[in-house]
Amino acid sequence: MAEHAKHQDSSEGILRLLAEKERQLEQVVASAKDEAAKVTEGARRDADAILRRAQEETAALAREYERRAQQEAEGISTEILGKARQQAAVLKQRAEARLDSAVDAVVTRVLGGLGG
Q: Is residue 1 part of a domain?
A: yes
> pLDDT for 26-85, tens place per residue?
999 999 999 999 999 999 999 999 999 999 999 999 999 999 999 999 999 999 999 999
Alpha-carbon gap, residue 64 to 74, rounded angstroms: 15
- Evaluate if pTM is beyond 0.85: no
- Number of domains into which the chain is organized: 1
Q: Is residue 24 part of a domain?
A: yes
Q: Is residue 39 part of a domain?
A: yes
pLDDT for the residue 110: 85
Question: In what helix (H) or strand (E) does residue 89 lie, and over which residues does it extend?
Answer: helix 2-114
4 pLDDT tier (thresholds 50, 70, 90):
low
Q: Is residue 68 part of a domain?
A: yes
